[in-house]
Amino acid sequence: MEKENKILEAIKVAFNVEGHIAREKRVMITANKDIVSSILLFCKNQQGYIHLNHMSVVDRIEDGKFELNYIIWSPTEKVTIMLKTFIDRENAEMENIDSIWDQANTYEREMREMYGIQFPGLIGRQDFALEDWDEMPPMRRDFDTHAYAEKTFYQRPGREDAKDVREELTKQSGEVIPDFAKKYSRE
C-alpha cells in the first residue's frame, strides 16, 4: 500500500482533510466543498492523477444533503482516488470543474438536470437528456414517479377494460394464477 499511503499523506498534509485507504488501489478522501477543486487541481497537476474516471451524486434526503463524488485515476500509479463532499440539498450549488477536465461538463449538465444542482459558469446546452422538463429533477429521492406517470400519461382509449390482461385470459381459459404471480399483479 506504499503508493496509496503516499498520495493519502500528500493530500492530508496539503489540505488537512480526512481520508483512508479502503482497499488496494482505492484512496477515499472527504473534504469541504470549498476545497474540492483545489484538491483536484493538486492531484492532477502535482501528483499525476490526470484522468477523471467518474463524477457521481447520491441524494442523502434524510440529512438534507447531496453527496458528490469525484473519482480520479493515475495512469502511472494505477491508483484511484475517491473524493467526497457534501452540499446542502436546498439551493444546491457546487463549483464547476469543467475548466480542469472538459468531460466534467457532461457530468455536471446531467447532475443539474437530474438532481437540480447548479454549477455556476457551466458552459453548455441547458438540456442533457430531458428536453423541456419543468418538473422536479427526476433523480431526487422525493420525485414521485407514479404520481408523475398518472398525471402525464393517460389510458389508451379502448383499453380501459383490459387493465390486467392475465386476469382476463384466466377468466376465459379457466386457468388458475399461481400465488407467486398474483403477488405482482397491479391490484
Helix residue spans in 76-175 (DSSP H): 104-115, 145-152, 165-173
Q: Does 186 bind another protein (CB under 8 A)?
A: no
Cell numbers representing residue 138 in the block: 427526476
Closest by alpha carbon to 71, among 40, 46, 95? Answer: 40
Q: Which stretch binds another protein (CB under 8 A): 7-15, 86-94, 97-105, 166-174?
A: 97-105
Q: Does 50 bind another protein (CB under 8 A)?
A: yes
d(CA 142, CA 114): 12
Among 14, 35, 58, 177, binds another protein (CB under 8 A): 58
Nearest CB to another protein, comparing residues 16 and 76: 76
CB 47, CB 34: distance < 8 Å? no
105 in helix, strand or coil?
helix
Please list every residue from 17 through 36 that binds another protein, using CB under 8 A. Answer: 23, 25-26
CB 82, CB 29: distance < 8 Å? yes
The CA-atom distances, in angstroms, between 21 and each of 8, 14, 18, 27, 116 are 8, 17, 11, 5, 31
Q: Does 122 bind another protein (CB under 8 A)?
A: no
Nearest CB to another protein, comparing residues 95 and 98: 98
Q: Does 106 bind another protein (CB under 8 A)?
A: yes
Cell numbers representing residue 136 in the block: 422536479
Site string for another protein, 132-151 (x = CB under 8 A): ------xx-x---x------
Q: Does 54 bind another protein (CB under 8 A)?
A: yes
Q: Which stretch binds another protein (CB under 8 A): 9-17, 47-55, 85-93, 166-174?
A: 47-55
Contact set with another protein (CB under 8 A): 23, 25-26, 50-54, 56-59, 69, 71, 75, 78, 80, 82, 101-103, 105-106, 125, 127-131, 138-139, 141, 145
